[in-house]
């Protein structure tokens, strides 16, 4: 009997238990172990990507707040700023289900890191904020309030990192002092949905603007106020082409009998056009003299104020943008001062191809060939680097290195700046040419378009188009600037081409043709010198 039990146990160990264990493992396990020298980026089980444990996770690092008083309205505001190590998304909702009102701000994409669990606030506008974990990459700010806030009393938004100013990514929460606004009376809101009257549709009735100077910073601001006969909702965005514009969508109001166009100051904003979307939705199209950053404008609504005889209002605040440089170009390359920036160099190899060709090793000879052709046409050419070196010097930070490159062009007041790069992507079959710009003036996109069309015609690669970008070297230069990604060094075929003098010469000729085309078209826009 004992012998039979032993045999049964032996069979279980050999056949049944391994099948149970194997059945519990996920599908898709490879039949062999990959070579240890293989470069691993993402591991996959059940077709779901799992990021490597070494990947850096975005987290909160610091929180602080300050109180401000609006110089125009006199309304007090608390600004809470939370620093994060990477880009995130934030949304907010008021909650009055707890024992006290709370503003709940959800931050998608960041953990609370090593933050303290709570931060005491001013006690007047907000009491405390508690930092709570949702999961490994999401968190919540639970802001306790002395009184509930209306939708118009708070604003949550994110700000990108600003390497030049040494500022990280940030989540910003603005809260107005709860309770009555100056010269206002309390209005009890019925929580039941309000049915719109078919006889009376909300419409715009009046538009006006004023220029204000901030009492603290001295910065100028334009405030555009549009009166409406009912409650509305707004959204806004910046458009870069064909000209910089701030687009404000107004849901719930027609343009009424407003004049189609209102001329503004011409300094901060040129004009606003009132455009109909449909019977109950409209749009403000605000023409700008230069580009705005996300934190350079604010769009919000104000409720009607019976005591002060003020209607519902849509308010648009616009900070004074950096004044664009005025250019007057003549056609032709002769006499033009052009700065060429071969990407990377020295301690920074840039992207590296499958055959170990580095980006810095191909951008320099391309730039040198461009220089020779430009000088032959009579242009004066300055290179940010003539050989394999860091422009700023050894041990420089990324910002120091990039600013050293833009300083070369800014100090000599060059007519044009061009940074030459090679692209890279994880999918090695991707290839082509693209050109990037930052819209500082009417010429930046034109420069990118001229370069893109001529270089694609010369190299025969996929046309990946022109794209607006926030690259430091095209943003911080004072003249028209572009950054061209001539080909993908990560694509083995294009990597081989990039390493040949013949293809480098083709690219150089395409670039010079594009620059010549740019000056010809720019002269038609701005006139001759």
Of 211, 238, 224, whose CA–CA distance to 300 is shortest?
Answer: 224
Structural element, H or E, at residue 9? helix 2-11
Query: Could you give the angle at which helices 359-376 and 501-526 cross, rounded to 10 degrees?
Result: 60
* Residue recorded with tokens 């007041």: 413
pLDDT tens, the chain, 529 aa long? 545 555 445 555 444 444 433 333 333 333 333 333 333 233 333 333 333 333 457 889 989 888 876 655 567 789 999 999 888 888 888 776 556 788 989 898 888 888 888 888 888 899 999 998 887 788 889 999 988 888 778 889 888 877 666 788 899 998 987 654 333 333 333 334 444 444 468 999 999 999 988 776 677 899 999 999 999 999 888 776 567 789 999 999 999 888 889 999 888 999 999 999 888 899 999 998 877 777 789 999 999 988 888 999 999 999 886 555 667 789 999 999 999 999 999 999 999 999 999 999 999 999 999 999 999 999 999 999 999 999 998 888 888 899 999 999 999 999 999 999 999 998 999 999 999 998 888 899 999 999 999 999 999 999 999 998 878 899 889 899 999 999 999 999 999 999 999 999 999 999 999 999 999 999 988 744 3
The CATH code of domain 56-179 reads: 2.60.40.3500
Residue 262, CA distances (Å) to 135, 220, 243, 286 in order: 49, 20, 18, 10
Q: Partners of 132 in the beta sheet? A: 140
pLDDT of residue 373: 98
- Evaluate the CA torsion angle 528, 473, 462, 357 in order and state its sign: positive
Cβ atoms 207, 232 nearer than 8 A? no
Answering whether pTM is above 0.75, one says: no
Domain span(s) for CATH 3.40.630.40 in the chain: 337-526
The radius of gyration computed from the CA coordinates of the chain, to the nearest angstrom, equals 30
Residue 295 carries which DSSP code?
A: G
Residue 449 designated active-site: no
Provide the CATH topology of domain 337-526.
Answer: Aminopeptidase (3.40.630)
Residue 465, CA distances (Å) to 436, 449, 453, 519, 525 in order: 9, 8, 8, 20, 22
Q: Partners of 141 in the beta sheet? A: 105, 131
pLDDT of residue 58: 87
The one catalytic residue in 59, 449, 485, 495 is: 485
pLDDT of residue 21: 37
Of 495, 369, 490, 462, whose CA–CA distance to 420 is shortest?
Answer: 369
Domain span(s) for CATH 2.60.40.3500 in the chain: 56-179, 202-323
Structural element, H or E, at residue 501? helix 501-526
List of residues 6+ apart from 9 with CB closer than 8 A: none
Buried b (16+ CB within 10 A) or exposed e, 149-178: beeebbbbebbebeeeeeebbbbebbbbbb
Give 202-230 pLDDT, tens digit per residue: 999 999 999 988 776 677 899 999 999 99
How would you classify the pairing of strands 337-342 and 380-383? parallel
Pick the CATH number of 202-323 from 3.50.30.60, 3.10.450.50, 2.60.40.3500, 1.10.579.10: 2.60.40.3500
Which tokens hold the place of 137?
């990459």
- What are the DSSP E strand ranges found in 424-526? 433-437, 463-468, 481-488
Question: What 3-state class would DSSP assign to 229?
Answer: coil
pLDDT of residue 86: 86
Which tokens hold the place of 303?
């409720």
């Amino acid at each position: 009997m004992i012998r039979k039990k032993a045999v049964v146990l032996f069979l279980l160990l050999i056949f049944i238990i391994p099948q149970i264990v194997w059945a519990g493992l996920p599908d898709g396990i490879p039949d062999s172990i990959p070579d240890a020298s293989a470069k691993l980026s993402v591991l996959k089980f059940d077709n779901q990507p799992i990021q490597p444990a070494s990947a850096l996770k975005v987290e909160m690092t610091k929180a602080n707040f300050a109180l401000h008083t609006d110089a125009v309205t006199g309304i007090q505001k608390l600004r809470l700023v939370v620093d994060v190590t990477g880009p995130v998304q934030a949304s907010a909702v008021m909650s009055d289900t707890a024992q006290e009102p709370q503003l709940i701000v959800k931050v998608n994409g960041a953990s609370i890191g090593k933050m303290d669990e709570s931060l005491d606030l001013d006690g007047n506008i907000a009491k405390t904020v508690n930092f709570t974990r949702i999961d490994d990459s999401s968190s919540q700010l639970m802001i306790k309030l002395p009184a509930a806030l209306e939708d118009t009393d708070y604003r949550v938004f994110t700000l990108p990192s600003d390497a030049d100013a040494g500022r990280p990514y940030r989540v910003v929460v603005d809260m107005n002092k709860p309770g009555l606004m100056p010269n206002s009376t309390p209005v009890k809101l019925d929580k039941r949905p309000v049915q719109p009257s078919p006889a009376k549709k909300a419409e715009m009735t009046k538009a006006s603007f004023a220029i204000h100077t901030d009492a603290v910073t001295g910065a100028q601001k334009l405030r555009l106020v549009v009166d409406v006969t009912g409650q509305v909702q707004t959204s806004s965005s910046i458009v870069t082409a064909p000209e910089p514009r701030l687009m404000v969508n107004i849901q719930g109001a027609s343009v009424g009998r407003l004049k189609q166009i209102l001329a503004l100051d011409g300094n901060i904003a040129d004009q606003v056009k009132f455009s109909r979307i449909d019977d109950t939705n409209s749009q403000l199209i605000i023409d700008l003299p230069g580009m705005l950053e996300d934190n350079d404008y604010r769009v919000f609504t104000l409720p009607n104020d019976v005591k002060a005889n003020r209607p519902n209002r849509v308010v648009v605040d616009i900070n004074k943008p950096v004044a664009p440089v005025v250019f007057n170009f003549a056609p032709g390359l002769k006499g033009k001062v052009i700065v060429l920036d071969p990407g990377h160099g020295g301690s920074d190899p840039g992207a590296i191809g499958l055959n170990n060709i580095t980006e810095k090793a191909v951008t320099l000879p391309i730039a040198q060939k461009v220089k020779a052709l430009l000088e032959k046409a009579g242009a004066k050419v300055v290179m940010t680097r003539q050989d394999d070196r860091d422009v700023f010097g050894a041990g420089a930070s990324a910002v120091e290195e990039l600013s050293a490159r833009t300083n070369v062009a800014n100090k000599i007041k060059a007519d044009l700046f061009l940074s030459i790069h090679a692209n890279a992507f994880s999918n090695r079959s991707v290839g082509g040419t693209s050109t990037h710009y930052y819209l500082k003036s009417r010429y930046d996109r034109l420069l990118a378009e001229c370069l893109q069309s001529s270089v694609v015609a010369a190299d025969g690669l996929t046309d990946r188009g022109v794209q607006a970008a926030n690259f430091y070297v095209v943003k911080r230069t004072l003249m028209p600037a572009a950054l061209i990604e001539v080909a993908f060094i990560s694509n083995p075929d294009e990597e081989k081409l990039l390493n040949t003098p013949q293809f480098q010469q083709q690219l150089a000729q395409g670039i010079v043709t594009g620059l010549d085309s740019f000056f010809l078209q720019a002269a038609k826009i701005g006139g001759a010198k």
